[in-house]
Structure 1
Amino acid sequence: MNPNSILYIFLSWLLSMCYGFVLLSSAAGQISDLNLFEAGSSSTYKLQSEVLINEKDNSSKNVGFYVVAEVTVNSIWGKGKDKILQIELTQPLLHIKSRKAPSPDGFVPHKSNLDKMQNKPFLVILKNNKVDRLLMPKNEPLSMVNLKKGLASLLQFQIYEGETKEIDSSGECLAQYTANSDDMFTKTKSNCVSIDLPYTYNPDDILKTMVQSSRISEYHLDLHKNVIKSIKSKESHKMFLSVKEDIGNFVEADQHLILIREGQISTIEGQNIEEALEKLISLHSIVYTQESLMSDRETDGEDATFSDLVNELRDNLKSEAIGTLKSARSFIKLINIGRTSNKKDIQKALASKKNKDLLLQLYDILGFIQSQDSHEAVMKNLIFDDEKMLDFSERYLWALSICSKPNPDIIMDLLKRFQKNNNIPEKIKETMILSIASMAYRLSQLHGNKVKVLKDVEEAIINNLDYAKGEEKYQFFRALKNLKSPNTIPKLLDVIEKGTPKEGVLSWKIIKSLPKEYWGENVLKTAKKTFFQLNKRHDSSSRTIAAELMLETNITEQNLKGMLHYLGSNDTAFEIKQYVYQNIRMKADECPIFKRMVLNIIKSDRFLNNYSTLAPRGMSTALSRNFLSSDSSNGSLVSLQELKSGIVKRGSVNIVMEKNDAIKEIFSLGLFSGGLSSFMSSNGNENELEDEESANAGMELSVLGTQLRPFLFFSGQGELMGHVWSGTASEKTPAYQANTLLQDHLEYIRLGNGLIAELNVKGALSFDLSGSVKISIFYSTAESLVEKAAGIAVIGTTKIDTSFVKSQVEFSASIEPKLILNSDLDFSGKPTACMRLTQPDSLLTHNIFKIERIPGSKHKLRIAKYKKTNIPGVTYSLNRKNNEMCSAMFK
């Protein structure tokens, strides 16, 4: 080996280390000598492009199709790494799924619009061996153009290993190239983005829709003949619910290009690409349009207008249909079409006299559409300062506040109306500021805290809080709870220190609603001072919330020991002791580490290790019960009841979903009361600050983390006695009825073959909350009833829409759960309370529909699959003391 040979080998090795040695050299020399698409060469391939759609686990019959054709690639000009390729797709033929088709593939050829589409050769321009642009014959159908883009995208590759960004029919992707052997390499695409296509998603970890994608292409080269022998492209996309991962759809798309013959052609002269193109175009009569590799979305124009669809679905939108699957389906259809509808069409639906009884449901729908057109249409019909429109205003504002994709322009419009219009009735005004705050928070979940509108909303709420007097402040505290801004923590801690007892309670509720990472050292110190009343007397609800917060953090052994010692103290607030005791037990049941710490403290302390200390008086409860357990997520029913003089002072029944470390409060139903001690027998031991307030009672409801305006049963002793004597409070009254969108996902995935898959998931909820209270002064008894009924439906579709074939798979899951909370109180002597929490039987249905049809043909394939699961009802055991009192009251 001479010195020149050694130097050559060294330099070759060095280059491979710097640039990535991709494919090994052949007998003819280096891989760099490979000259694919050499000018004058012609290669003919067989193309097969297949699409299959199925349910997520791909366990049963799918629907789908494939297209076969011959593809001729002519290199008509070339200079170095710049080339012009003329590609012809010959006689494309559709094959479809059929029950009569032979096994195992199940496909047969079928006539379609593809057979008669205009189809002329197109041009692919390569610059530096990369596809730069396409020239498509003018006026060809979009379906044909997209198929050609998918074909041309197979030629978008490089022969060196490494990672690069590329644009092809899948969008803008990150492409990873890996050598498999001397003449084979793999291209793996990930993080494909299509910013020009609509995309809607719910960022919540529990309610979001998951999409998992895989895109791999394998290239096989003939290094001796400088030609591509074959290209195999395979991709799959799974769409499923985060909360229940076994429900979803699956789409798979494959392309296979196989060399069948080679030849030679005449070329075009030209010094550069543009000169060569000019000569080519002058020789032929074809008019070209310039295109990128990215495919374009097809629309069939078959969708009705929003107003027409309302007319079509009128019966499904009536109040009596709320809570049914047909109502949920209609709700979803109208949201899908409403997001692309114009203001005039939406106004037409709102103004129609035929839709007078549907307006509440229409405002629900428009609140979730949240386009500029939909909002302007609503503002033409909805007058916020008209108290007669309270129900309509609140339904629209509630929907806006719960929507996972808020429109910042709508937020600013509502904020301006809130600040400038002094004639808005108090109830509407409170709902408005609560909705503005919730929308701002949800916007921050999508775009972070840098959006200007978020700062404007926070400043507006704080300023109104500073200038409001007395009970006027409470609505702004509740707005801060919806805003969930950590910037407000210093102010809230100051209010806890210097404000009124009620303001302290509201401040603690806000802090409790914030993510735990914002509960810093200052918050925990204030919680400790509040619970143990080290600085001043606090409302019992402030103390119990502070205790909850301390227990939900990584509480130190010293602080936990102090809380346990408090149970045996001389403090006569027995309900607070019982509430803390129940919370400690609940957490110990959920966390083995915490349970060991509690037991170690008790066993090592003689004062604590006895029945008297760990059996505090009181009837308050805190418990958690599982109602759903699956591989994907868990559902819990959390009930917290803080009592005073036998009456629920602050109670809540929460439905909580958990997935990994993510926790989502779906609903929180709360009961509150105050100033009722004078109506009950009292042992005189509980000297609490809340006795100073006037008699009041009501319900609080939070939906998906958004607190709504409280619903008051009565406020003041005069109103209370009016209800008692008239009996109006004893009638079951709807407090909250609405249609809500849970899952909200729309995504268009560009497939490698040039077609586009639409993934659409909508989860609709019809919700009804009703309650009643009965008080008998003569018999010294009280009864309350709260019923929470819901109809939940999730519909997800995956479809491929072209002008020659349409394939679709749809899943639907629905359930109608119900929750009933009865509370009975006897205060004729020593107060006795019995609470019963029941969940009746329910039925979960999971249906799958697979449809395929050919436009202009009678062919229609439909496959259906039905599954039903009975969920037995349950009565939840609250605690032993409650069970004993229930047995005594109903013996």
Structure 2
Amino acid sequence: FDKVFLFQFDEFIKDHEQYLHRKSLGNRTTGTTFLQLISLIRRQNERTLANTLNNATNSIKFTLIEAYIAGQTQSSINVVLKHLDNDKSKNKELIECFLMAAAFTPRPSELLFEQLMNRSKNSDYQIETSTYLTLGAIVHKIYHSNKKSLIIDNFTKFIQNSLKEHSKTKNAKRLVYLSLYNAKIDLYQNILINEIKSCSETDLCWLALSALTQLDCKTLSTEVISLIRSLYHEHNKRTYGIQIRQLAGLILLKTDISVPDFLNIILSTLDKSNHQLGLYMWRVIDTMTQNDELLARKLKFIINQQMVVFSFDSLAYKGQSDYYRRTLLTTYGFGVYYTVSQLMSKVGALKESDFTVNIQQYDAQDDYELLSFGVSAQGLESYITDDVDESDQNAKDEELHAQLRINILNTQLRPVELFSGVTGLMGAVWSAPSELTSAFRSNLMIHDLSRYIHLHNGVIVHYEAQSAVSLDLSGMASISLWNKNSHSVIRVSTGFSVRSHIDILSDFITTGINSTLSTNTIVDYTTDVDYSDSPIRVCMQMAIQPTQVHDNIENFYSIKRTKSYRWFGNRTLKYPGTDYPFTEKNNQMCQLLHKS
């Protein structure tokens, strides 16, 4: 019996090898093959899995590790861990691949969590960072399925011990806050609040605030709201960076904000001494009131009561900061939306830029983050202009630094440093890829459900559903120091596949339906920047290439010892490519750039 499964496993890998290579990622067939591979892995013994992984070529070993971890059998997990432990070269890419697969496993096991805990300390800071992020992601899934799990207690002790090491290892707090960002559990709110109270180190304070945004802000206590309010309005005579104030303002607006607090935020947007933050917050308010009826009523009340008087001069901001939300697509029961957030410093240098795609049910307030990528930068002011006033002197003194953040399925990946220091900036400029180059690619299992329902009449209903995405995130940048302009493209290629079946089992008949839905989606996000003159001109464009959705259905039944029947059906739906507009101001910038 084992030999039969071994033959099927080896034959499957041989027949589908082209879809197991990394170069095939971002394809719907790759996603479907990945699901089929997981199904086979769950029926193999440890010896078979070990032989296959050890003998696999490097080109398919990454996909096998992803599938082994997604399979979540004790044998498959043990095989991967032993393989990584015995790898003399300590291939960082394989370890990162393992951690990535573990972070996105829909139903992580206790064995996986325990093994990760034992391997949490690593001399390589990047591996250690990914491990902390993965632990947070696993705890998030376990907590929402079983809040009384002993794993939560073990994770709490792990976090507390890590914080005690802060005096020995300066990166310990940073790792903890990244882990808590993915955990998204209210139990650890006090840890974040303690850091925010002191806010002595800007980067740690920003990480703590960022993790706090992942919690339900409507449940924050009055004391915490008062603390966040003091950060945003700088009540305690301390000057905070614009990025700290940005997060504090977003948190306040996500709470059940009172009318006086809302009024004070609106008044702060009219402060021309910090016009970029004011413009950003006003755009946030405008966007949120379009999607939040209660917040819209509060704004209407403030205006009707003439608590604040708007004039053309007060709203005539001259800045590049922006925030808006647009519809990507709508279908039965839910919609998909994209949000663009761009925060600039007083002199027009980039501070934060984020692009986020969310899915939301029509009858629900909460949404789910599908994808987000953003850039955080510091110290660019001095390289754009010498006209930095004293109030923005802190920005001028900041160390030159930029970081790329990627969130997939509401889970943050390890931040990537784009450059640090002048030498790093020049290196990034000269080494920027002029052709599309993969920055992240992986096969991710995003849904795994299996249920047996025993009816009173003896009939058993078996329902099973899995979904996976084959993802390739690529980018390119063309930067001209001579012409003082740049052109960049971020391409997100996804191959999405869903497999499900329902079986009705009884002593005399077996019947069921198998269904597979798959599609390819390619999204291009293009940014053109012209910094040859002031103000800087930025043009952002987004387009989805033509898409096909493939739907396959198989219906079958068999009556024991008599007859059986199978019926197959399939269809292909075609959707044209679409260009998605941003704001009118952005469209005007695009026209100016493309004319010049």
TM-score, length-normalised on structure 2? 0.90
Deviations 1:194-237 (A, max 9, x none): xxxxxxxxxxxxxxxxxxxxxxxxxxxxxxxxxxxxxxxxxxxx
* Alpha-carbon distance in 1 for matches of 2:73, 2:223: 42
1:3 alignment counterpart: none
Q: Which residue of 1 aligns with 2:58?
A: 356
Asked if 1 retains the 8 angstrom alpha-carbon contact of 2:5 and 2:43, the reply is: no
Deviation at 1:478, TM superposition (A): 0.9
Compute the displacement of 1:455 (Å). 2.2
Contact 2:132 2:178 in 1 (8 A): no
* CA-CA distance at 1:513 after TM superposition: 0.8
Pick closer, same or farther for the CA change 1:320–1:734 going to 2, 3 Å.
closer
Q: 1:617 to 1:728 in 2, by over 3 A?
A: closer
Per-residue CA deviation, residues 266-310 of structure 1 (Å, 9 max, x unaligned), is xxxxxxxxxxxxxxxxxxxxxxxxxxxxxxxxx9x8796645543
SS in 1 for 2:271: coil
In structure 2, the partner of 1:317 is: 20
Pairs within 5 Å for 1:515-594: 515-535=216-236, 536-570=238-272, 572-594=273-295
Q: Which amino acid aligns with 1:543?
A: R
Letter in 2 for 1:695: L
Q: 1:671 to 1:532 in 2, by over 3 A?
A: same
The aligned counterpart of 1:394 is 96
Unaligned runs of 5+ in 2: none
Deviation at 1:356, TM superposition (A): 3.4
Choose the corresponding residue for 1:873, options 575, 578, 582: 578
Aligned residue identity for 1:629: T
Alignment match, 2:591: 887
Instruction: Name 1:457's counterpart in structure 2.
Output: 155
Does residue 441 (structure 1) correspond to residue 179 (structure 2)? The answer is no
| Distance 1:445-1:606 versus aligned 2 partners, 3 A rule | closer
Query: Which residue in the other structure is 2:468 paired with?
Result: 764
Indicate if the aligned counterparts of 2:434 and 2:477 stay in contact, CA closer than 8 A: yes
1:590-669 to 2 correspondence within 5 Å? Answer: 590-605=291-306, 608-644=309-345, 645-659=347-361, 660-661=363-364, 662-669=366-373
For the 8 Å contact 1:781–1:824, the answer to whether it is kept is yes
CA distance in 2, matches of 1:471, 1:800: 54
- The Cα shift of 1:735 comes to 1.4
SS in 1 for 2:315: coil
Distance 2:510 2:367 in 1: 39
The Cα shift of 1:467 comes to 2.5
Give the structure 2 partner of residue 270 of structure 1.
Answer: none
Q: Paired residue for 1:476?
A: 176
Q: Is residue 821–residue 837 contact of structure 1 (8 Å, CA) maintained in 2?
A: yes
What residue identity is the alignment partner of 1:315? Answer: Q
Structure 2 matches for 1:6-17, cutoff 5 A? none
Number of paired residues?
584
Shift of 1:600: 3.5
The AA in structure 2 aligned to 1:442 is: K
The residue that corresponds to 1:331 in the other structure is 34
* In 1, Cα distance between equivalents of 2:307 and 2:315: 12
Shift of the 784–585 alpha-carbon distance from structure 1 to 2, 3 Å rule, reads same
CA positional deviation for 1:800: 4.1
> How far apart in 1 are the matches of 2:563 and 2:28?
29
The one of 811, 814, 817 equivalent to 2:515 is: 811
Residues in 2 aligned to 1:656 and 1:682: alpha-carbon distance in whole angstroms: 39
Aligned to 1:429: 128
The letter of the residue matching 1:707 is Q
Task: Determine the C-alpha separation between the residues in 1 that align with 2:386 and 2:325.
Answer: 30
Distance 1:826 1:564, change over 3 A: same
C-alpha change, 1:635 and 1:611, in structure 2 (3 Å) is: same
- Structure 1 residue 859, shift from structure 2 partner: 5.2
More helix, by proportion: 2
Q: 2:449 aligns with which of 737, 742, 745?
A: 745
- For the residue of structure 2 that corresponds to 1:562, the secondary structure is helix
In 2, Cα distance between equivalents of 1:390 and 1:495: 32
How far off is 1:543 after superposition? 0.9
For 1:709, the equivalent position in structure 2 comes to 414
> What is the alpha-carbon distance in structure 2 between the residues aligned to residue 453 and residue 592 of structure 1?
39
Q: Aligned-pair distance for 1:400?
A: 0.8
CA positional deviation for 1:883: 2.1
Q: Secondary structure at the match of 2:213?
A: helix
Equivalent residue number for residue 188 of structure 2 = 488
- Give 1:471 shift: 5.1
528, 531, 541: which one pairs with 1:836? 541
Offset of 1:792 from its aligned partner? 0.8
CA distance in 2, matches of 1:345, 1:688: 63
Equivalent-residue separation in structure 1 for 2:244 and 2:98 (angstroms)? 33
Deviation at 1:716, TM superposition (A): 2.2
Report the CA distance shift for 1:477/1:451 in structure 2 as closer, same or farther (over 3 A).
same
Distance 1:777 1:465, change over 3 A: farther
How far apart are 1:401 and its partner, in Å? 0.9
Distance 1:647-1:769 versus aligned 2 partners, 3 A rule? farther
Query: Residues of 2 paired with 1:746 and 1:310: CA distance?
Result: 25
Cα distance, 1:787 vs structure 2? 1.6
| 1:371 equivalenced with 2:73 (yes/no) | yes
Task: Give CA-to-partner distance per residue, 1:419-464, whole Å, 9 cap, x none.
Answer: 4xx54x221121112111211121111111x222222223323432
Distance 2:174 2:35 in 1: 36
Asked if the contact 1:368–1:741 (Cα under 8 Å) also holds between the matched residues in 2, the reply is yes
Residue in structure 1 matching 2:531, options 798, 802, 827: 827
Over 3 Å counting, the alpha-carbon distance change for 1:441 and 1:577 in structure 2 is: same
Which structure has greater strand proportion? 1
- Separation in structure 2 between the aligned mates of residue 774 and residue 466 of structure 1, nearest angstrom: 45
Q: State the SS of the aligned residue for 1:816.
A: strand
Amino acid aligned to 2:428: H
CA separation in 2, counterparts of 1:521 and 1:440? Answer: 28
Q: 1:855 to 1:350 in 2, by over 3 A?
A: farther
Report the RMSD for the aligned CA atoms in angstroms: 2.7
Superposed, 1:672-821 pairs within 5 Å as 672-681=376-385, 683-685=387-389, 687=392, 689-724=394-429, 726-800=430-504, 806-821=510-525
Specify the code of the residue in structure 2 equivalent to 1:436.
Answer: L
Q: 1:510, CA displacement in angstroms?
A: 0.4
Q: Percent identity?
A: 21
Counterpart Cα distance in 1 of 2:249 and 2:372: 19
C-alpha distance in 2 between matches for 1:521 and 1:386: 54
3-state DSSP of counterpart to 1:613: helix
Secondary structure class of the residue paired with 1:890: helix
By how many angstroms is 1:798 displaced? 1.4
Highest Rg: 1 or 2? 1
Is this contact kept in 2: 1:307–1:348, CA < 8 A? no
Amino acid of the residue matched to residue 710 of structure 1? Answer: P
Paired residue type of 1:668? S
Distance of 1:855 and 1:396 partners within structure 2: 44
CA distance in 2, matches of 1:669, 1:487: 27
Task: For 1:39-118, list aligned pairs within 5 A.
Answer: none
Q: 1:735 to 1:617 in 2, by over 3 A?
A: same
Q: 1:503 aligns with which of 204, 217, 223?
A: 204
Supply the distance in 1 between the matched residues of 2:102 and 2:453 (Cα, whole angstroms). Answer: 28
Aligned equivalents of 2:65, 2:322: Cα separation in 1: 39
How many Å separate the matches in 1 of 2:493 and 2:189?
Answer: 36
Give me the TM-score of the superposition, normalised by structure 1: 0.62
